[in-house]
Amino acid sequence: MGNTYGRGLPVALARGDVTIGMIDEAVRRVLTLKSKLRLFEHPFPPELDTAERETRLAAARALAREAATKSAMLLKNEQGLLPLKPQQRIALIGPLAGVDALLSGWAAAGKDVKAVGIQEALKAALPPAALSIAKGVDAEGDDVSGIAEAVADRARGRRGHSLVGEPRAGAGRRPVARGSAFRAVSASSPRPCSTSASRPWRSSRRGAAHGVLADRARAGRDGAVAARIETGNAVADLLLGRASPSGKLPISWPRSVGQIPIFYSQRPSGRPFSPADMFTSGYLDTPVTPQFPFGHGLSYTQFAIKNLRTASTKFLREDTIGVEAEVTNIGARAGEETVLLFVRDLVARRSAPLMELRGFAKIALAAGHSGTVRFTLPAKALAFPGGDLGPEVEPANSS
C-alpha cells in the first residue's frame, strides 16, 4: 500500500545498499512459496455451486459473529446498566451506527453491502418505536448540528447509547469522540457508551481521550475494528443480554500519555509505589495505575477463582507442569469467564517481570455452578534469556 519497494529499491540500488542478487533471492523465496501452494496452477478458488456457497457463507458469518461477540470487552458497568432492559427505549447516538464505519481503513477490498451495522441489528431486535437514531456529530467534518437532536432524545426518556470510534477514512488518525458532543449527550446519567477502536486515543491536551470517556460513561464496552461484517449483530447481542462479554484487554490502557510506556510485565522498581510515602515511584497529578489494566474485562455476572494448584511441586527442564484452578459463577446470570495464567520468579539471579502471561482458558458456567480450568505449562515457558541470550531455566531457590 505504501509503494515502499517501488520507490525505495531503485534508490537503495543506486547507493549500493542492496544488490540485484539480494532482490532476486527475495523474489525467488516468494515465488517458491507460491509454487508450493500451487498458486500458479490454481490462482483462484474453485467455483462453488449456489447451495455450497451459501452453506459456507452461513458458517463463516456465524463464526464471525461469535468472534466479534467474544472479542468485545466490557470495561465498566456501574449500577448494572448493561445489559439493557427489554422495555427500555434506546437512543442510538453517534455517526458510526451504519455499515460504512465497520470495515475501517484496513478492509482493502471489503464490501459494505455484506456487513450488518449496529443500527440495522438493533432495528431488527427491538420494536419499531423503541429505537431512535441521532447522528450527533459528523464522522469526517466538523458538523455538530445534530447534538441538539441527540440531547432531545435523552430528554424524552430514552436510554442514550453513544457510539464513538474511528471512522473508516480516518482510522488511526482521529477518533469520532468530540468532547463537547459527548459531554452534552452524557449530561444526564446513566450513560452507556460503545467504542470501536484497536488502540487508546490520544487527545491533544490531556493524553488519553479514552480516559475522558471512561470517566464520564457509567457503562462502556470496547471492540476492536476487526469485528467487521457481524459487528452489528454482536453489539446487539451484548447490549440486549443475548450474550455475555468475556473479552480481556490485551494491553494496559493508560490514563494519560505521560504514563507511556506502561505495560503489565514491567520489572519491579527499587521504590514501588506506596500512597503513604511520597518518595516512591508515582505521579503528583494522576494515579500510577493504568485506566484499565492488562487482562481487564467484566461480565454480566461475577466469577470467583480459588484453589490454584499444580500437579507437582518439583519438575525438571524437560517436564510439563499441570496447573488447575476452581472457577465459580457467583452471579445471577450464566456467563463465560476467560482465566489468565501468569507466572513470576520471586527469587532469581536476574530481575524478573512482575507478571508474565503464560496461558489462558475459557469456561462457561450457569449461575451458581463451578468448574475446573486446566493449563499445561512446559517448564521451558519459565525460561529467560541467559548470559548468552539463549533460554535458561534457573533452579528454584529452596529457601
Residues 101 and 203 reside in one and the same domain:
yes
Classify residue 295 as left (phi > 0), alpha (psi -120 to 50) or beta: left
Residues 146 and 205 reside in one and the same domain:
yes
In a domain, 26, yes or no: yes
Tens-digit pLDDT profile for the chain (399 aa)?
578 888 999 999 999 999 999 999 999 999 999 999 999 998 887 888 889 888 988 998 999 999 989 988 898 888 888 898 877 788 777 776 666 666 665 556 556 567 888 888 888 988 877 888 777 666 665 666 666 666 665 555 555 566 666 666 555 555 544 555 555 555 544 456 666 655 555 544 444 445 545 565 656 656 544 456 888 899 899 999 999 999 999 999 998 888 989 999 999 888 888 988 888 988 888 899 999 999 999 999 999 999 999 988 888 888 899 999 999 999 999 999 999 999 998 887 888 899 999 999 999 999 999 999 999 999 888 888 888 888 888 876 644
Residues 340 and 394 reside in one and the same domain:
yes
CA distance 117 to 196: 12
In a domain, 138, yes or no: yes
Adjacent-strand bridge partners of 384: 392
The CATH number linked to 398 is: 2.60.40.10
In a domain, 261, yes or no: no
In a domain, 101, yes or no: yes
Could you say which DSSP state residue 266 is in? P
Could you say which DSSP state residue 259 is in? G
Residues 101 and 209 reside in one and the same domain:
yes
Neighbours of 309 (CB within 10 A): 10
In a domain, 256, yes or no: no
pLDDT at 81: 84
Residues 234 and 367 reside in one and the same domain:
no
Residues 356 and 214 reside in one and the same domain:
no
Report the SS3 class of residue 89: coil
Last residue of a domain, one of 210, 239, 268: 239
CA-closest candidate to residue 134, choices 112, 116, 160, 100: 160
Mean pLDDT taken over the chain = 80
In a domain, 245, yes or no: no
Whose grid coordinates read 459531554?
183
Residues 181 and 129 reside in one and the same domain:
yes
Residues 128 and 8 reside in one and the same domain:
no
Residues 227 and 115 reside in one and the same domain:
yes
In a domain, 249, yes or no: no
Domain containing residue 114: 67-239
CA-closest candidate to residue 264, choices 375, 340, 332: 340
In a domain, 337, yes or no: yes
Neighbours of 43 (CB within 10 A): 8
Residues 341 and 219 reside in one and the same domain:
no
CA distance 277 to 306: 32
Residues 161 and 93 reside in one and the same domain:
yes
pLDDT at 84: 85
The CATH number linked to 125 is: 3.40.50.1700
Last residue of a domain, one of 215, 239, 263: 239
Residues 26 and 92 reside in one and the same domain:
no
Last residue of a domain, one of 239, 255, 276: 239
* Number of domains composing the chain: 3
CA-closest candidate to residue 193, choices 64, 71, 336, 73: 73
Grid cell listed for 236: 446487539
Q: What is the pLDDT of residues 228-240, one digit of tens each?
A: 688 889 989 999 9
